[in-house]
Amino acid sequence: MKDVMENIGTLYHPKTALVFYEAKGMNAEVYVEYFDMDKNGNPINAHPLTIKEAQRLSKALDTAREGCKAFLKPKGIIASNILYTDPSENGFVMWFTKATCKNLFFVEGLGISNGMAGVPALLWIANKEKLHVYALKSDRKPTENTPLYHAPFFNVYAEGSVCMGTVDVNIRRSASLEEFTAAWEAYFFNSYFSHLMQNHDPIQGNCVSLWKKLRKTGEPFPKDVLKKTGRTIKNILR
């Protein structure tokens, strides 16, 4: 059993325990007893909860609450590329990036060399666990009615969701807005592009040939190969 548990993931060991006692009656009083735990998980050293221990517990809970409140909070003035934020626990962010060059990685089987290549302007939508990416034809800040194009990458489904494969996505619950967007961009571009998803061809033409050419020539990404999704930002936010 021990070997099985170690292979499942992180194993947590009990350190302390609180037991609440309540007297019977209308005005029942509550008494709290504090236990240490031995190496076998058995409670030892029982004693009334002290003020110092209660303060330490309160501080730990306050820190956890503050971490949740800090989620998606900007460090300063909100960047101009941020389009929408929902800072709730399961919230998401929508932002865009301009056309640029990125260091890309491809699995060996595609026959595309790793390195810098031009990528189009992109629209990103992400929560703590999932990412959607779309392409844009302009570097201008998109509006609700800006048409969205399929992201011209491998590993992206037709509806825009990204297959992260074996990437260990770990967005902190207290991540600032800037940390959140930077983390997702890094996860996306530092992963290996490997295959088209469910026969979805994201561009007009051959995706492998396109990226081979862009890696060889260093040319900006050709906007004319982008394919419309038939959707706009307004459709996504509904």
C-alpha span between 97 and 135 (Å, rounded): 10
Six token digits for residue 16: 């302390």
Q: What mean pLDDT do residues 9-22 have?
A: 72
Dihedrals phi, psi of 17, to nearest 5 degrees: -145, 145
Tens digit of pLDDT for each residue in 185-216?
999 999 999 999 998 999 999 999 999 999 99
C-alpha span between 80 and 90 (Å, rounded): 23
Tens digit of pLDDT for each residue in 130-174?
999 999 999 999 999 999 999 999 999 999 999 998 899 999 888
pTM here is 0.73
C-alpha span between 120 and 139 (Å, rounded): 9
b/e per residue 130-143 (b: at least 16 CB within 10 A): ebbbbbbbeeeebe
Q: What mean pLDDT do residues 178-191 have?
A: 97
Average pLDDT in the chain: 87
Tens digit of pLDDT for each residue in 113-141?
999 999 999 999 999 999 999 999 999 99
Evaluate if residue 4 carries a pLDDT over 50.
Answer: no
3-state per-residue secondary structure call for 81-118: CEEEECCCCCCCEEEEECCEEEEEEECHHHCCCCEEEE
